[in-house]
Amino acid sequence: MPLPRFFKFMSHDMAIDLGTANTVVYVRGRGIVLNEPSVVAVETINGQKRVKAVGDDAKLMMGKTPGSIEAIRPLRDGVIADIDVAEQMIKHFIQKVHGPRRFARWPEIVICVPSGSTKVERRAIRDAASNAGASQVFLIEEPMAAAIGADMPVTEPIGSMVVDIGGGTTEVAVLSLRGLAYTTSVRVGGDKMDEAIVSYVRRNHNLLIGEATAERIKQEVGCAKPPVDGIGAVIHIKGRDLVNGVPKEIQINQGQVAEALSEPVATIVEGVRVALENTAPELAADIVDQGIVLTGGGALLQGLDEVLRDETGLPVTVAEDPLTCVALGTGRALEDPMFRGVLQNG
């Protein structure tokens, strides 16, 4: 028997985009209320672990912590790698949003999961949310959430394709009538792009840079195809010289970054090509008209839409707000009965 609306309001039912890089929380009736890094700083004293910071505060500590404190990303490739730390992180975010309302029941929670995640991985996510205080946990597949958030016609008898490029995975899916007609999950995303940049700089410049520097390079001069002049914009970066061990500053240009990112970009393109090859003819005909929609933080990589357009010959567009599509879609699935059928419980 559904609880009265008063109790639903008090409970702060929420939708969570539990991402490898960031966690976004959407609250029923309020929209997105939290967007913080999926990072937990854990301090170990006399063998006992204690959470020191979560989210923004923990992200600032990455690469700069003393020996007793470790900054941990509890998710890897879109799924939980450290269930205890993930549980603490989810609990922190729930309490931060929910507040200290003594008489409110714990919330219903909808969490998105990669389409390629296993039953064990999904159980880990559900258990972490339940142990963190959820009264009931529903799951929604990430590409479905992204498509709903991008206002794609997922409830209609029309085939459409979404490519959601997150921190840990790229989800490629063909959708129709509230279902996934075809889906594949490629474990390449923003994190693999950062790793590729770190490797490139180390290999070609004998310079060791951290994750934060690689992310800044990607955001400021990252591109999926070389610029016309082969150089493009230039950025100055600092790191540790691997030859003499001292700090050093160099400059890197867009052409070099495009070269660094060529492998992860090619993997994403191949994932899209495989999905198209495995799509039923009737749905494929719809995709020719509808095109491909890009969502997720990786959709912001300059020139990626052009590369996919050139490789597939299909129209490719970037969603209006690609960073929040999954969270918005998960939130709409929580609020709108029309999408209740896409949720998984059990």
For residue 38, give the nearest of 138, 127, 119, 111 by alpha carbon. Answer: 111
Binding-site residues for ATP, in ranges, read: 20-22, 167-169, 215-218, 297-300
Kindly give, in sequence order, each residue whose CB lies less than 8 Å from that of residue 49, ignoring residues fewer than 6 positions away.
Answer: 42, 43
Residue with tokens 């929580």: 334
Q: In this structure, what token pair is assigned to residue 42? A: 């854990």
Half-sphere exposure (CA, 13 Å, Cβ side) for 203? 10
Q: Are 90 and 18 in contact (CB under 8 A)?
A: yes
Polymer length of the chain:
346
SS3 (DSSP) at 109: strand
* SS3 letters across 5-17: HHHHHHHCCEEEE
Q: In this structure, what token pair is assigned to residue 335? A: 């609020």
Whole-number CA gyration radius for the chain: 21
Alpha-carbon distances, residue 201 vs 146, 235, 240, 266, 298 (angstroms): 33, 13, 11, 19, 20
For residue 140, give the nearest of 163, 165, 177, 114 by alpha carbon. Answer: 114
Binding-site residues, in ranges, read: 20-22, 167-169, 215-218, 297-300
Query: What gap in Å lies between CA 67 and CA 88, rounded to an integer?
Result: 21
